Structure 1
């Protein structure tokens, strides 16, 4: 089956589309990536989205406008991906959409909201669209995240020791693949770094390009300790978080508490980089991780990667690229797999990872021009393998985290 997986993460710097061919070999899913393209949101839409994100307040009018605008942006990229990567032959599009709010109180997730109306995608491509993946898990008592945990579990199950899959997006999350797998958000990855950069440059820069500012800075011990006092880190898994907690006012309050409002930008960024590396490492050590396979936009920050490698010390750190899956493609590829499972009537969650009462078939289905594409039921897969990706097969239009 040929599927396009689409998503925009908590950094909302771009929409990613990955085209994959998925086949079955016995109990294994075999993933053959055809290529990936990524485009930033149009400037006006990006500004509107940023203005409405927590802790900002909004209106139903703005939510409606964003839902349509994000859906149209996804639709344009979906049509482009179908044409350029699939020869117009995509069968299903799995769209994660854009998370704008994750409603967490007392460690319980009560709701989650992803915008990007899927009807625009179905209309633009004629394909069946699977969307709204998180809500079913939440309704079953789960956190609704990290949903990539099933992909990680199938993919890394055969590795020795206790492998850990790490994604460095706006928020960092891990999946621990050993015995009964667990997964949770460890805390901020790029969220606070990006918020600080955007504020300190008055919006001229939205992230630390090549980790240059962080590399020039010095970690401020008092500020770091203040940030590490966040109660979220000590909560037991499963747990999830987002920009509802880790946003600019959160950082501003920490700077005020420590009297570091005038700290040079380089030192603030260096401290936030160390915060990400430390909290990820603390989480990996707490679960006995012996190796870490990392993906996501944070892998493009050399300073963060150096700090992470230093903090992990004797724990092996590998990019997902080394296992055949480019780090920028990982999450969109995972949602393509979730879409495949949904249209085959197969559950796509791991209850021990999300905290749900049971595994669930995920998503809502929007019919394409040929009607709803539900496939013949097949047994649930137990492993996942990725066909080797060659440079010639990968689309070179990837623009993830490029300078604005």
Structure 2
């Protein structure tokens, strides 16, 4: 089956699309990458997304308008990926949507909301669509994340030692596959979330991220600020656990800076980069990781990757590219695989990773113009409804 995965993370800079041929072969899923592409959100849409994220107050009208706007952006990204990566032959689109709220209370997640109405994708591409992939795990008592842990467990099983898959998006998450024990996965804390926010504010929007880690490379770590940031109670909580911009937002950073002498722009970038490296390294050490296989936008920041390697002497830190899964598109490929599992009725969560009571088949499925390509269907709505008496 030819599948397109669509992902927009907590950095909300745009949509990553990756296409793959996926086949079920006994107890194996075979994934053949076909390539990926990135589609930036229009500036106006990014502004509107930022305006509804915590701790902002919003309206149902704003959410409805965004649900449509993001859905249409995902639809165009899917159509572009189908044309450029799939020669127009995609059968299924799997759309993560844009997370706007992850409702965590203490150690429990009560709900999660990803918007981007998938009907626009089905209408624009004619493909069947799988969407809303996190809610079922939350309903089963899980954190709803990291959902990519199911992919990581399949992918890394059998590697020597205790390999750790790391994703460096807005939030960093890890999956560890220890020998002879259940897999563990959790969000470690911010990867790029606070850094992107600080860079955007300090450059008045001229930059939206620390390109190539240049600011952090010029700066010096502010030890007092770093100590304040590391005192965050989230880091000491036991897994499974998840977090997001509901915690790590502008007011959070402002509170950490309050009362300190002015911190120079480059020093702030250096300190936030050090925070990410330290908290990820602490997480890797806590699970006995013997190698780190990294993916996500943070892998394109050489200053961050050097800082992480320095925090983990003796533990190889490599890119998922080395294992055949492009680091830039890994999450999009992962969601393509999760949606492939959905339409094959395969539970695609690992309960020990998300904390759910049981594994679940994920998502809601919308038919394309040809219906569900894996199921026959009538050509039209039947003309007659017959009511019969229930059997005694």
User: Which bin holds the TM-score, normalised by the shorter protein?
Assistant: over 0.9
TM-score scaled by structure 2?
0.94
Q: Give the Å deviation of 1:169.
A: 0.2
Aligned to 1:227: 229
Deviations 1:342-377 (A, max 9, x none): 00001000000000000000000111011134569x
Pairs within 5 Å for 1:192-211: 192-211=194-213
Tell me the secondary structure at the aligned position of residue 207 of structure 1: coil
Q: Secondary structure at the match of 2:204?
A: coil
Shift of 1:193: 0.2
What's the counterpart of residue 334 of structure 2?
334
- Deviations 1:218-246 (Å, cap 9, x if unpaired)? 00111101000000000000000000000
| Alignment-derived partner of residue 383 in structure 1 | none
Provide the residue aligned with 1:181 in structure 2: 183
The TM-score normalised by the length of structure 1 is 0.91
User: Which residue of 243, 246, 259 corresponds with 1:244?
Assistant: 246
**Contact 1:104 1:111 (C-alpha < 8 Å) held by counterparts:** yes
More relative contact order in 1 or in 2 (CA 8 Å, sep 6+)? 1
Partner of 1:309: 309
> Does structure 2 retain, via aligned residues, the 8 Å contact 1:143–1:238?
yes
- Consecutive unaligned residues of structure 1, counting only runs of 5 or more, are 377-404
Q: Deviations over 1:234-267 (max 9, x none)?
A: 000000000000011101100104x13x110111
SS in 2 for 1:270: helix
Structure 2, unpaired ranges of 5+: 377-392
Displacement of 1:26: 3.0
Which residue pairs with 1:355 in the alignment?
355
Whether the aligned pair in 2 keeps the contact of 1:343 and 1:375 (CA below 8 Å) is: no
1:84-163 equivalences under 5 Å are 84-163=84-163
Aligned residues: 374
Deviations, residues 1-54 of structure 1 (Å, cap 9, x unaligned): 100000101111120110000113332111101111111001111111112111
Q: Distance in 1 between matches of 2:373 and 2:340?
A: 11
Counterpart CA distance in 2 for 1:227 and 1:119 is 41
1:321-360 alpha-carbon deviations (Å, 9 max, x no partner): 1011111110000000001000000100000000000000
SS of the residue corresponding to residue 21 of structure 2 reads strand
Residue 399 of structure 1 is matched in structure 2 by: none
Give the corresponding residue for 1:278: 278
Question: Matched residues in 1 for 2:134 and 2:374: separation?
Answer: 20
